[in-house]
Amino acid sequence: MKHIWFVAGTDTEVGKTVVSTALLTAANRLGLQTLGLKPLAAGCEETPDGLRNDDALKLQQAASVWLSYDQVNPIALQAAVAPHIAAGEQRLSAERIVAYCRGALMQRADLVVIEGAGGWRVPLNARETLARVPQLMELPVILVVGMKLGCINHALLTAEAIARDGLQLVGWVANQIDPNMACHDENLQTLKERLRAPLLGSLPWLEQPTCETLAEYLDLSLLLNSDRH
């Protein structure tokens, strides 16, 4: 059985890559063969090998199955702005992104993490948002909630949008991105009561987080036991 999850965030800069690499590391420790994909990335740097995105490189390194960079991140955009703006005259489409993902999925793996870009409704073009990708692939979704002021509203609205798009929220991760967040535990409890999916882990604020350290805070058992993909 192959487990494939789409990792979405309540916003940009909430730790999707931190969580995705921690998920891959936790799965590696269980002896699973893993792949990490970042099919669309804005904010890439020019290198001798071409445009490279730091998040995509981290996913490539965290996975146990090797893929070339172009397979991990087939659409690399230089400007660190919304993808449809960063793309300029290059036309983005959900079907094109899905085709890239399906090509990478031909590699043998037990577990695959496909990381989104920005929030759930980030535009691809005049008609589509990135949410169309997990829709077309019928993927279960893991939501990364950036724990900061306003996170309850952001999380509930995103969960509603995921459900409205006909997809299943199979789990969520609380990632403390504000070390000085007031009433962190109270906010976490409210989210646990209102989000209709299991909490996979609550990641603390760390000065130098690593996927190895953060994997300790995640519990994949509910996902691995219930995921049908």
What per-residue string of b and e applies to 130-164 under the rule 16 or more CB within 10 Å gives b? bbbbbbbbebbbbbbbbbbeebbebbbebbebbee
DSSP string covering 100-144: HHHHHTTS--SEEEEEEEEETT-BSSSS-BTTHHHHHHT--EEEE
Relative to beta strand 169-176, strand 111-119 is: unpaired
Hey, which residues does 75 pair with through a beta bridge? 40
Structure tokens at 76: 């690399």
| 38 is known as an active-site residue | yes
Radius of gyration, CA atoms only, the chain: 16
Distance (Å, rounded) from C-alpha 108 to C-alpha 28?
A: 14
Residue indicated by tokens 């299991």: 198
Q: Which of 16, 38, 58, 148 is catalytic?
A: 38
In order of 72, 130, 132, the CA distances from 127 in angstroms are 25, 10, 10
d(CA 62, CA 21): 6
Q: Judging by DSSP bridges, how do beta strands 141-147 and 169-176 pair with one another?
A: parallel
Query: Which residues are marked as active site?
Result: 38
